[in-house]
């Protein structure tokens, strides 16, 4: 559905995107994660057709996005900082989008009014950040997009509204096969909704997997070894820490393979648990020189 192939973007000599590639299947909810400055928002602006890449391809359904109104009319984009005209209220923006997006659904807009309960005539600049986000979702979902691109979408929203909005999005995914690409630092939330994850760092893709595969491929083991016994040879340990007799290991490998290997060492106690997305993010980036440093000031 969405294909980014070796895209390069240079800003005044700085390579913000450095031959980055991602692949988002149709109907997927794809979490794009990465540290600050990794290039997430830059990549998203390319996907929205705002920026033009220096090299590479950005395709949706096999067609380039840039300067392609047919494709862009099927894409709704909610940026980190909401777009609106200074004097305009939600109703003004609705009229504006309705005249531009052929798929804009007035029935849905009317139905969503009861969900968001916002003053449509009030200038958007007078709405709080959270209300502006709600307005953006109201308008975006009314477009009935095939592709929904969200950059830090739920920042500023209260927990109830977050759940409400995710519920609407997931409903669209289920009913219409909408493809969603979402960038966020709230990895616990992404873990709940995403089925695919891409981690990018310094403008490059580090990892891209289905979330289940990603979590299956790396495990956390808490183990207490007998005197004289130790971890079997050949295990790919990403991180090791010790607290008393308990050793905590982050090991790359499938849970069943790691379990078998640990059992073979006959420890006094062991427990193999899947990693959260946040842990995957931290340990993967640790290997890419982005670890939490023990700094004493």
DSSP structure class, residue 202? T
Which listed residue (64, 103, 171, 232) binds another protein by CB under 8 A? 103
Pick the binder of another protein from 30, 77, 116, 283 (CB under 8 A). 77
- Residue 126 within binding range of another protein, rule CB under 8 A: no
Work out which of 69, 177, 232, 287 binds another protein, going by CB under 8 A: 69
Among 4, 7, 17, 74, binds another protein (CB under 8 A): 74
Question: What are the beta bridge partners of residue 196?
Answer: 30, 210
- Rounded distance, CA 283 to CA 168, Å? 32
Neighbour-count burial of 217, counting CB atoms closer than 10 A to its CB (0-12 exposed, 13-18 middle, 19+ buried): middle
Burial 174-203 (b: 16+ CB within 10 A, else e): eeeebbbbbbbebbebbbebbebbbbbbbb
Rounded Cα–Cα distance for residues 223 and 216 (Å): 19
Q: Which lies closer to another protein via its Cβ, residue 101 or residue 283?
A: 101
Nearer residue to another protein within complex by CB, 147 or 214: 147
Q: How far is the CB of 66 from another protein (least distance, A)?
A: 10
Instruction: Please report, in angstroms and rounded to a whole number, the separation of the first and last CA atoms in the chain.
Output: 48
- Which parts of 7-46 interact with another protein (CB under 8 A)? 11, 45
Stretches 87-95, 163-171, 187-195, 244-252: which one binds another protein (CB under 8 A)?
Answer: 87-95
| Residues near another protein (CB under 8 A) | 11, 45, 48-52, 67, 69-75, 77, 79, 81-85, 87-88, 92, 95-103
């Amino acid at each position: 559905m969405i294909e980014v192939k070796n895209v390069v973007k240079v800003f005044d000599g700085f390579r913000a995107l450095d031959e980055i590639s991602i692949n988002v299947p149709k109907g997927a909810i794809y979490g794009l994660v990465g540290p600050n400055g990794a290039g997430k928002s830059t990549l998203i602006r390319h996907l929205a057709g705002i920026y033009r890449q220096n090299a590479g391809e950005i395709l949706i359904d096999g067609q380039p996005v840039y300067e392609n109104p047919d494709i862009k009319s099927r894409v709704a984009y909610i940026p980190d900082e909401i777009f609106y005209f200074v004097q305009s209220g939600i109703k003004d923006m609705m009229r504006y989008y309705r005249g531009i997006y052929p798929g804009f659904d007035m029935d849905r807009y009317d139905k969503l009014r009861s969900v968001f309960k916002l003053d449509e005539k009030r200038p958007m600049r007078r709405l709080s950040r959270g209300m502006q986000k709600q307005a953006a979702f109201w308008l975006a979902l009314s477009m009935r997009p095939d592709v929904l691109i969200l950059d830090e979408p739920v920042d500023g929203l209260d927990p109830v509204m977050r759940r409400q909005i995710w519920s609407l999005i997931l409903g669209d995914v289920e009913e219409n096969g909408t493809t969603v690409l979402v960038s966020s630092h709230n990895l616990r939330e992404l873990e709940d909704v995403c089925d695919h994850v891409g981690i990018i760092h310094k403008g490059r893709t580090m990892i891209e997997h289905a979330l289940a595969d990603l979590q299956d491929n790396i495990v956390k083991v808490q183990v207490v070894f007998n005197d004289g016994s130790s971890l079997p040879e050949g295990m790919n340990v990403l991180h090791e820490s010790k607290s008393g007799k308990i050793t905590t290991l982050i090991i790359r490998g499938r849970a069943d393979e790691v379990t078998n290997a640990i059992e073979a060492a006959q420890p006094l106690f062991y427990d193999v648990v899947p990693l959260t997305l946040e842990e995957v993010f931290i340990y993967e980036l640790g290997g890419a020189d982005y670890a939490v440093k023990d700094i004493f000031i």
